[in-house]
Amino acid sequence: MLNRKLIFNILKFVVFLGIGLLLIWVITKDLTAEQKEELRNSFRVADYWWVGLSIVIGILSHYVRALRWKMMLQPLGCNPRISTTFYSVMVAYLANMAVPRLGEITRCGIVQRYEKVPFDKAVGTIVVERSIDLLMLFLVTFLLFVTQFTLIYDFFQEKVIIPITEKFSSGLNMLLILGGSVLILVLISIFLVRRFKHTETYLRIRIMIMNVRDGIYSIRHLKNFKLFIFYSVFIWVCYFAMVWVCFYALEQTAHLGLPEALAVLVFGTVGIISTPGGIGAYHLIVTETLVALYGLDRTYAISFSWLAWSAQTVMIIFMGVISLLLLSRVTRKETVDETV
């Protein structure tokens, strides 16, 4: 009998997948027959060599992520093989396409199984790794707003700020609403902390904090901190390059350059984490970014969003399956060794 957590995860996946498919329908429903034919033709004439290069760059980014993770585990007394950390990273991304956050558990389970890395220590390093990724996303977003402030400000002024302001009679009402919302959130947080202080959930949170502490410890005692920083920056440079080279796959997007790639990276990342594998959300956000900010024809904006998304998705599925197969070979080899 399926347990509640599994049922909940299945339902969550179905709901978010449904939302993603709905978003795909939203961005294509108003296309004319001529535009749909142009869309199909753009896929036929696309230069998939550039899409392939994007896939190679993506694999390189994940390999460097595996190198960085191995570096984080070493101060904790663990020295896993780079092959195992790489396989676990790829399997984790594959698992996350099915159930969000399942990949983190799978990743820790793999290194525990094959490298005897304690599960809780592995979790601690991954929590810290996610914090570093969030910091890098913040820095990339900051760079985007610094380099293209006027363009983005004018867009939000027209599409967001003015419409919201017009719904309120004065700025004072907006401040009162925002202040009241913050106060309510603070009161709810205080209530939840007091209510659940002695529950199992609270204890789990405390254990997670301790794991994060261990992860931070691993960073403080890295043998080569500069190399760690280089790895962290290089991963996001690869993410950026994956978008940039995809521009050259279509004649209509080949004129787009580094500023546009930076915007697609920042806003597209939001889409990737919004639905399973970013389906629908990534297409919608990237399409609207290219159309609204840079005036690209909607048909070719949709085409590009599909090419960029497909490069990431094909890479994750292919390398994830290959990694699972290679891990199964390791299992068979260990079984043979134990029987000899």
Domain boundaries defined on the chain: 48-333
Q: What is the pLDDT of residue 340?
A: 40
Q: What is the pLDDT of residue 335?
A: 43
Given a contact cutoff of 8 angstroms between Cβ atoms, the answer to whether 73 and 223 are in contact is: no
Given a contact cutoff of 8 angstroms between Cβ atoms, the answer to whether 94 and 317 are in contact is: yes
Distances from the Cα of 129 to the Cα of 34, 177, 232, 272, angstroms? 46, 36, 9, 18
Cβ neighbours for 228, distance < 8 A, ≥ 6 positions apart: 68, 71, 72, 219, 222
Candidates 42, 2, 33, 16; CA nearest to 310 is: 42
Q: How far apart are CA 48 and CA 62, in angstroms?
A: 21
Using 70 as the pLDDT threshold, list the residues of the chain that sit under it: 1-24, 26-27, 30, 100, 158-181, 186, 188-220, 330-340
Q: What is the pLDDT of residue 1?
A: 44
Q: What is the DSSP letter of 296?
A: -
Cβ neighbours for 321, distance < 8 A, ≥ 6 positions apart: 94
Q: How far apart are CA 233 and CA 132, in angstroms?
A: 10
Q: What is the pLDDT of residue 11?
A: 66
Q: What is the pLDDT of residue 125?
A: 86
Residue with tokens 């947080």: 189
